[in-house]
Amino acid sequence: MEQTYDVIVVGGGIAGYSAALTLKSLKRSCLWLGAELFGEKLRAAEYVRNYPAVTGSGAEFAARLEEQMRREGIVMTHGRADGIYAGEPFTVTAGDAVYTARAVILATGVSHRGAVKGEENFLGRGVSYCAVCDGALYRGKTIAAVVASGKYAHEVEYLAGFAGCVHAFCLYPNPAFAADNVVVHTQKPLAVEGGMRAERLILPDGELAVDGVFFLRDAAPPAALVGGLETEGSRVKVGRDLSTNLAGLFAAGDLTGQPYQYIKAAGEGCTAAYSAHAYLSGRGV
Ligand SMILES: Cc1cc2nc3c(=O)[nH]c(=O)nc-3n(C[C@H](O)[C@H](O)[C@H](O)COP(=O)(O)OP(=O)(O)OC[C@H]3O[C@@H](n4cnc5c(N)ncnc54)[C@H](O)[C@@H]3O)c2cc1C
């Protein structure tokens, strides 16, 4: 039987790290799950001038965090969560892997790259953020994928294994796919439209009829990951203690709203860890 953790922290950025670090000091068992360690948002910063004691680039900042991870024995498990199911315990799925925990801290950041007008209106009705979860629903169909980066090329190829045709709208240079039924587009769609389901993409020069649209980018809207989670626009609604409307689920970092800053994300990771600890201790939050 797999271990049920006290807390699963989802998201490999600074908010997730700070939560994992704090949970360790609180002696809570924790699985820290991230698609990548200190992703592009940390490593790409040219010079960090607003985080106490950091005087260097984002890459140097990441190197110092990794050094601290080694010293503190913090390990990130690589994986992209594709479903979080509230319950006692919570279940978190990441591809074939299934994890359980008594509480979850969501720290998946925000990604507006590749966001298209109307996409959130069709969540679960023809719009998906997970090729592995939903690809098989589109056997023989015509689908579109709005692809934020080349690292998702294998997901497009995975979709091509089911679909009749995949129209890949690639927001990065020199896209290439090892599948004959992928049509590459270099323009960004303007909107998703339809009735009960997503039915077409509006393009700068016309329309494309589709059976489904996949958005492949770093962070899916949180409501796509956790059913029943209350959001306000792209932001998760949280209390001052970073609790959400779902008991035992907390959120931290950019996904709770502005300001988008390392210090705010790290601070919230810490607060969310204390709140999860209090929740697990039966003291409420
Ligand atoms: C180029 C650039 C420079 C910046 N410079 C500064 C600066 O100098 N100072 C400053 O204060 N702020 C800066 N920022 C803002 C700062 O990067 C963010 O506020 C901060 O990174 C937010 O941290 P986070 O942990 O909430 O989210 P993120 O850093 O976005 O981390 C979230 C992580 O979760 C992962 N993830 C997403 N979905 C899943 C999933 N389903 N399963 C598992 N993992 C998932 C993502 O891959 C990502 O790595 C900069 C941003 C950019 C883009």
Structural domain boundaries of the chain? 4-111+219-280, 119-216
CA–CA separation, 215 vs 230, rounded Å?
A: 21
Q: Atom 20, ligand 1: which residue's CA is nearest?
A: 262
- CATH fold label, 119-216: FAD/NAD(P)-binding domain (3.50.50)
Q: Which atom of ligand 1 is nearest to the CA of 253?
A: 26
Cα end-to-end distance, the chain, whole Å:
30
Given a contact cutoff of 8 angstroms between Cβ atoms, the answer to whether 6 and 28 are in contact is yes
Question: Does 119-216 match 4-111+219-280 at the fold level?
Answer: yes
Cα of 164 to ligand 1 centre, how many Å? Answer: 35
One-letter amino acid for residue 120 of the chain: E
Q: Atom 50, ligand 1: which residue's CA is nearest?
A: 41
> What was the pLDDT predicted at 285?
55
Q: Would you give per-residue pLDDT tens digits along the chain (285 residues)?
A: 579 999 999 999 999 999 999 999 999 999 999 999 998 889 988 899 899 999 999 999 999 999 999 999 999 999 999 999 999 999 999 989 999 999 999 999 998 777 899 998 898 899 998 898 889 999 999 999 999 999 999 999 999 999 999 999 999 999 999 999 999 999 999 999 999 999 999 999 999 999 999 999 888 889 889 999 999 978 999 999 999 999 999 999 999 999 999 999 999 999 999 999 999 999 765
Q: Tell me the CATH architecture of domain 4-111+219-280.
A: 3-Layer(bba) Sandwich (3.50)
> What was the pLDDT predicted at 284?
60
Pairing of strands 191-194, 182-185: unpaired
Cα of 97 to ligand 1 centre, how many Å? Answer: 24
- Nearest of 232, 241, 231, 48 to residue 252 by alpha carbon: 241
Q: Atom 22, ligand 1: which residue's CA is nearest?
A: 254
Ligand 1 binding residues, C-beta < 6 A:
10-16, 33-36, 39, 41-42, 44-45, 48, 50-51, 80-81, 107-109, 218-219, 225, 253-254, 260-263, 265
CA–CA separation, 172 vs 170, rounded Å?
A: 6
